[in-house]
Amino acid sequence: MASLAKCVRLALGAWVLSLMISASVPSIAQQVNPTASAVKEQQLLQELNRIQGRVSIPDQRSGVLEQPAGREWREFRNVTLRWIGGIAILGTLAVLVVFYLACGMVRLQGGRAGRTIVRFSAFERFVHWMTATCFITLAISGLNITFGRPLLLPLIGHEAFSEWSQWAKYAHNYLSFPFTIGVVLIFLMWLGGNIPNKVDVEWIKRGGGIVGHDHPPAYRFNAGQKAVYWIVVIGGAAVAVTGYELMFPFYLSGIEGMQMAQMVHSTVAMLFVAVMLAHIYIGTIGMQGAFEAMGSGTVDANWAKEHHSLWLDEEDARAATNDARSKPAATAAE
């Protein structure tokens, strides 16, 4: 990666410079002509890609005199990122629209059984929705930073846009905390159901049911959901870490590190948004009966049978055991 190359170059340059310096260290009374050996700007820039010196104020970062690396970052932020974001988000939307138009909502093939079973507890649903609302706010306020200036600003004018962006920045900063907590909880809460296994291979082979006409079997979470889980966990961790690096400037790194952090943060966030669009689609208009899982927390037994047959078997088995143990029996959910 470019950054690695940069690091190597930096280290090499520092080494070369230190060699030069140590070669010219004056011992007592060694004759030197400071003017003849004056440092030259372009030479330093070529060696190190940045010029750093000594300042007396405690803020040592101000010792960086010149650092043209910002130009590359500018190119990324103003051009590359907008392409990445645009393609990822618009592309996903387009695919979803096409899919919806082509296939429509995935309906329950067997109709509703009338019997429901619990899929997500109240706590699970709380964590999901907390994280989700945070995510949406973060996504919108984040997208505003990248796309607001060309898209929104001309529509609403400078003052309104700044006002909105200021709020958006506050929201982005403050909501990062519940979002991060949410990601951590999601990670812990659903880790058990999201370890990949053999069933996933089959599920993936059959494209989650798109290939062929029946649904592949799955435990509580199918491979698609597992993918979303891991994207949320890993992507969430990535945006959180890089986000905090930006929010607490100079605690973790200098400017170059912050430029890197911003690049990672924004790229991951764009892809994250794209994936979440698909997630939202499937959870809502994409599939009949899916929203209930996070809505009421219960799903129709037929839905469970079609999409998570192995999980339903497990749940039924567990319910039977419970029934045997404790009478009078009660259905798990009414």
Partner 1 sequence: MARMKFLCDADRCIECNACVTACKNEHEVPWGINRRRVVTINDGKPGERSVSMACMHCTDAPCAAVCPVNCIYTTDDGVVLHSKDLCIGCGYCFYACPFGAPQYPKIGNFGSRGKMDKCTFCAGGPEADGSKEEYEKYGANRLAEGKLPLCAEMCSTKSLLAGDGEIIAQIYKERVMKRGYGSGAWGWKTAYRETIAS
Partner 2 sequence: MLIRRTQRSESDRRGSVAALLSGQTGGLDRRTFLRRSGLAGGAFAALSTLPLGSVRKAEAAAAGPLTAGATVRKSICTHCSVGCTVTAEVLNGVWIGQEPTWDSPINRGSHCAKGASVRELVHSERRLRYPMKLVGGQWTRVSWETAINEIGDKLLDVREKSGPDSVYWLGSAKMTNEGSYLFRKLGAFWGTNNTDHQARICHSTTVTGVANTWGYGAMTNSFNDIRNAKTQIIMGGNPAEAHPVSLQHLLEGKELQKANFIVIDPRLTRTAAHATEYVRMRPGTDIPVLYGMMWHILQNGWEDKEFIQRRVYGFDDLRKEVEKWNPEEVERVSGVPGEQLKRVAKMLATEKPATLIWAMGQTQKTVGTANVRASCIALLLTGNVGMSGAGANIFRGHDNVQGATDVGLDIVTLPFYYGLAEGAWKHWSRVWEVDYEFLKSRFDSKQIMETPGIPLTRWFEAVTLPKDQVAQKDNVRAVFVQGHASNSITRIPESLKGLKALDLLVIADPHPTTWASLAVEAGRKDSLYVLPIATQFECKGSRVASNRSLQWGEQIVKPIFESKDDLEVIYLMAKKFGFADKMFKNIKVENNLPEAEDILREMNRGSWSTGYCGQSPERLKAHMKNQAKFDFLTMRAPKDDPEVGGDYYGLPWPCWGSPELKHPGTPLLYNTNLSVMDGGGTFRPRFGLEREEKLPDGTTRKVSLLADGSYSRGSEIKDGYPEFTLASLKKLGWDRDLTEAEMATINRINPATPDAVSWSLDLSGGIQRIALMHGCVPYGNGKARMNAFGLPDPIPVHREPIYTPRVDLVAKYPTLPDAKQFRMPNIGFSVQKAAVEKGIAKQFPLILSSGRLVEYEGGGEETRTNPWLAELQQDMFIEISPADAADRGVKDGGWVWVTGAENNSRARMKALVTERVGKGVAWMPFHFGGWFAGRDLRGNYPKGTDPIVLGESANTITTYGYDPATGMQEPKVTLCQIAAA
Return residues touching partner 2 (CB under 8 A). 25-36, 54, 56-58, 157-159, 162-163, 166-167
C-alpha to C-alpha distance for 322 and 286, rounded to whole angstroms: 35
Q: Distance from CA of residue 304 to its chain's centroid? A: 29
Among 237, 241, 255, 278, binds partner 1 (CB under 8 A): 255
Residue 114: contacted member of partner 1, partner 2, none (CB under 5 to 8 Å, by partner type): none
Sign of the torsion formed by the C-alpha atoms of 277, 278, 281 and 284: negative
* Packed helices 223-230 and 255-283: angle between N→C axes, nearest 10 degrees: 150
Instruction: Verify binding: residue 27, partner 1, rule CB under 8 A.
Output: no
Q: Which of 4, 28, 34, 211 binds partner 1 (CB under 8 A)?
A: 34
Nearer to partner 1, 132 or 261 (CB): 261
**Residue 67 interacting partner from partner 2, partner 1, none (CB closer than 5 to 8 Å by kind):** partner 1
Residue 71 C-beta: closest distance to partner 2, Å: 21
Which residues make beta-bridge pairs with 264?
none
Q: Is 128 exposed, middle or buried (0-12, 13-18, 19+ CB in 10 A)?
A: buried
Per-residue interface string for the shown chain with partner 1, residues 110-149, x marking contact by CB under 8 A = ----------------------------------xxx-xx
Minimum distance, C-beta of residue 261 to partner 1, in the bound complex (Å): 9
Give min distance, CB of 14 to partner 2, in A: 15
Residue 157 touches which of partner 2, partner 1, none (Cβ within 5-8 Å per kind): partner 2
As a whole number of angstroms, the distance between CA 182 and CA 155 comes to: 34
Residue 148 binding partner per list partner 1, partner 2, none, with a CB distance cut-off of 5 to 8 Å that depends on partner kind: partner 1
Choose the contact partner of 29 out of partner 1, partner 2, none; CB within 5 to 8 A by kind.
partner 2
When asked if residue 203 is in the footprint of partner 1 (CB under 8 A), the reply is no
The residue behind tokens 């820039």 is 45
- In order of 67, 115, 202, 274, 288, the CA distances from 92 in angstroms are 37, 35, 25, 6, 20
Q: In this complex, which beta carbon is closest to partner 1, that of residue 102 or of residue 155?
A: 155
E strand or H helix that includes residue 306: helix 301-307
Interatomic CA distance for residues 153 and 184, integer angstroms: 35
Long-range contacts of 59-64 (CB under 8 A, 24+ apart): 61/250, 61/254, 61/255, 64/254, 64/255
Q: Using CB under 8 A as the criterion, which residues of the chain lie in contact with partner 1 when the complex forms?
A: 21, 24-26, 32-35, 37-42, 44-45, 51-55, 57, 59, 61-71, 73-74, 77-78, 144-146, 148-149, 153, 158-159, 161-162, 165-166, 169, 173, 246-249, 251, 255, 258-259, 262
